[in-house]
A and B are shown apart, each in its own frame.
Chain A
Amino acid sequence: MHILVCIKQVPDSAQIRVHPVTNTIMRQGVPAIVNPYDLVALEEALRLKDRLGARVTVLSMGPPQAEAALRKALSFGADEAILLTDRAFAGADTLATSYALASAIRKIREDMPVDLIFAGKQTIDGDTAQVGPGIATRLNMQLLTYVSHIDNVDLERGEITVQRRAEGGVQVLCTRLPALLTVLEGINEMRFATMPDMFRAARHPLAIWDREAAGVTDLTKVGLKGSPTVVSRVFAPTPRMHRAEIIQTQSDQPDDLVATLLAKMFTKFPDLRAAVRPRCA
């Protein structure tokens, strides 16, 4: 089995600042991390590899620094890593990104057919959740989004059964391979790499593909040129002025808590007093 995992290097959103005057995003010095959702996807792929045996290839499109993300994936146990990097890819939106990734995947398939592709649920910087589905659509693959559990992969019949979190419940879905899965956060925890894995990851040669290697011929479909999305404005939401309040109570008895809370509510919203009629004892 050949599993492909798409990972993206993103700025650590916890450390992004908005310029207080110009309201633009200040990226200087913000460390780059692997999109956390993608690590969940990778771990799920590695678990399948542990269970059924597989070759796991990680693929990322990004600037040369994205090498760090791929090395990290290798240390966890990915077998091969491919970095798609080319000036022509810069400024890509989700349409252009999925185009470039899909082209590269076609190339990868020439070398070894791909049975499963994993992607994260979404990224923490773009947050669109569009790239995974975009790839599946372009490659005409089965698409399973928001997967919370992989029940079974039947290689003989070429089928996969998963649980999918949906509004109001869990769906159990079975489809044929090859399929693209986007997985939910929190369904697993990333493993801790061993020392030999760290050495292997540090030394393993990366495949670095430019647009030619990725089989991209139509330059109007990638990068800024291939991106119809226009970011017209970036702004920081005005912080809400409502503050939480800690209310002192006499005791922690439920009656007391309720009474204190009601009293507080009635002073704020006097109209409510008429609406809430205490039940007679």
Chain B
Amino acid sequence: MNEQFDVIVVGGGPSGNAAAYTLAKGGLRVLQLERGEYPGSKNVQGAILYADALARIIPDFRDDAPLERHLIEQRVWILDDTSYVGSSYRSADFNKPPFNRYTIIRAQFDKWFSRKVQEAGALVICETTVTDLVRDGDRVVGVQTDRAGGSIYANAVILADGVNSQLAQRAGFRPEIAPREVALAVKEIHFLPEETIQSRFNVTGDEGVVIEMAGKITQGMVGTGFLYTNKESIAIGVGCLLSDFSRQKTTPYALLDHMKRHPAIAPLLAGGEMKEYTAHLIPEGGYHAIPQVFGEGWLMVGDAGMFVNGVHREGSNLAMTTGYLAAETLLELRAERKVFSARNLARYRAKLDGSFVMRDLRKYKNLPRIVEKNPQFFTAYPELMNKAAHTLISVDGIDKKAKERAVRKHFVSARSRLGLLGDIFKLWRAFE
């Protein structure tokens, strides 16, 4: 077999689809290989779609993309064992098109995106795992798959194979991810009638609500939980650092089970039928974990390059943007009749540095290390905050001054004055 393409894209997630779509639209001969039975069959996400990143690639995506609900309300909950303190933002302005954020179901969304890729002219082949890169000296010149029949060649290969990127590891482009740089997330989908979701979350039509959660639901581990409303289902999940799971010997499903029984969460799920249970890794190493993302004839995009903003729970948008920028780089080089050498592909890294992707990741570059070393943010503080709220809100004959003193005392005895100051400083460092 002698198949030769301009570009081979490995992986059919948001990063690979963004890259393949852009390249094919730009007139290159593109082959995309996906190991799943169809694009999306293997993929896990909450899932919130950030419209902006997609709109820059497919401006009229709203016409036919499978979108569940557009989000009009964001709640943030800090939980202890029996309660939560939280804030929420809800706005009628989020009801003005074009909507900014949507919930999606990845299996359907990825399939739609893949159809767009095919319509743009790329050849998409599923159920095929890329097992190795074919190299000529330093240069990547193609791929090898798990199917008999030889190698496939291309002038450039885009690694869009997700967080594990075994290809990059095998090729030595990236070390194996350290367990403290990756979260293990589990997620379930619970089916509920549309009307039930609407009344439970106080929404009408396709309006939706997200709840982001932190606190004792992660049982002292560094992590967060979420609950998102789809049209006819609710997605609920929790993720914690892999290193914490193994240290604490907690199983992910036990953690999620425990979370679902929280008195503030259980009523939201009541009566639903659990239909899907999935687990997936999320890169959480942030800026410092990003490897070399280009080389002789290859580029790395999406989760494979560790492009995830854990603080804001953004991943798919970084995936699409990096995929798009990688494609744009190749298209520009092609137009300038330049080869896909490492030197020329450095333009991709420059584009990344100039985009929100690297700016955001740089902003939070210290955060992963700080939260990892300071579990009090996930245990002591949620408890203190909930206790404080409880003390201040209960009316029980104790005067308000005394209540405030009690709250202060609680904080100081739990963390000491210096500890409190230190924590404030650390938070400032993390979010500076």
Interface set of A (CB-CB < 8 Å, partner B): 15, 17, 19-22, 26, 28-29, 31, 68, 192-199, 202-203
Contact = CB atoms under 8 A, between A and B. Distances in A.
Given A26-B232, A193-B147, A31 B191 contact: no
B395 interface: no
7 contacts: A19-B193, A20-B271, A26-B232, A192-B148, A194-B147, A195-B149, A202-B125
Contacts of A197: 149
SS of B interface (majority):
loop
Nearest to A18: B273
3 shortest interchain CB distances as A-B pairs: A195-B149, A194-B149, A195-B147
Contacts of B66: 29
| Most chain A C-beta atoms within 10 Å of own C-beta, residue among B145, B148, B231, B275 | B148
B275 A203 contact: no
A194 B3 CA distance: 14
A21 B271 CA distance: 10
Contacts of B105: 29
A29 B191 CA distance: 12
B1 interface: yes
Interface residues of B, number: 27
A210 to B, nearest CB: 22
Contact of B128 (A21, A29, A31, A195): A195
B273 A31 contact: no
Contacts of B193: 19-22
Interface in B211-265: 231-232
A205 to B, nearest CB: 14
Given A31-B107, A198-B125, A17 B275 contact: yes
A26 B105 CA distance: 15
B123 A194 contact: no
Contacts of A26: 191, 232
Nearest to A199: B3
B123 A195 contact: no
Nearest to B125: A198
Contacts of A68: 38
Given A195-B145, A202-B124, A29 B275 contact: no
Given A20-B193, A203-B123, A196 B149 contact: yes
Contacts of B38: 31, 68
Given A194-B149, A195-B145, A196-B1, 18 more contacts: A15-B275, A17-B191, A26-B232, A28-B232, A29-B66, A29-B105, A29-B107, A68-B38, A193-B147, A194-B148, A195-B148, A196-B150, A197-B149, A198-B147, A199-B123, A202-B124, A202-B125, A203-B123
Interface string B266-283: 000001010100000000
A143 B143 CA distance: 47
Interface of B: 1, 3, 37-38, 41, 66, 105, 107-108, 123-125, 128, 145, 147-150, 152, 191-193, 231-232, 271, 273, 275
Given A192-B147, A195-B1, A20 B273 contact: yes
A68 B148 CA distance: 22
Contact of A31 (B41, B125, B271, B275): B41
A22 B196 CA distance: 13
| Most chain B C-beta atoms within 10 Å of own C-beta, residue among A29, A31, A68, A202 | A29
| Most chain A C-beta atoms within 10 Å of own C-beta, residue among B3, B149, B271 | B149
A26 B128 CA distance: 30
Contacts of A196: 1, 149-150
A195 B128 CA distance: 8
B248 to A, nearest CB: 29
Nearest to B41: A31
Contacts of B123: 199, 202-203
Contacts of A195: 1, 128, 145, 147-150, 152
A242 B245 CA distance: 37
A15 B38 CA distance: 15
A124 B105 CA distance: 25
A195 B145 CA distance: 8
Contacts of A15: 275
Contact of A199 (B108, B125, B231): B125
A198 B128 contact: yes
Nearest to A26: B232
A21 B191 CA distance: 11
Contacts of B1: 195-196, 199
Contacts of A22: 193
A144 B231 CA distance: 47
A259 B128 CA distance: 54
Contacts of B275: 15, 17
A26 B189 CA distance: 15
A20 B232 contact: no
A199 B152 CA distance: 11
A115 B41 CA distance: 38
Contacts of A203: 123
B124 to A, nearest CB: 7
Contacts of B150: 195-196
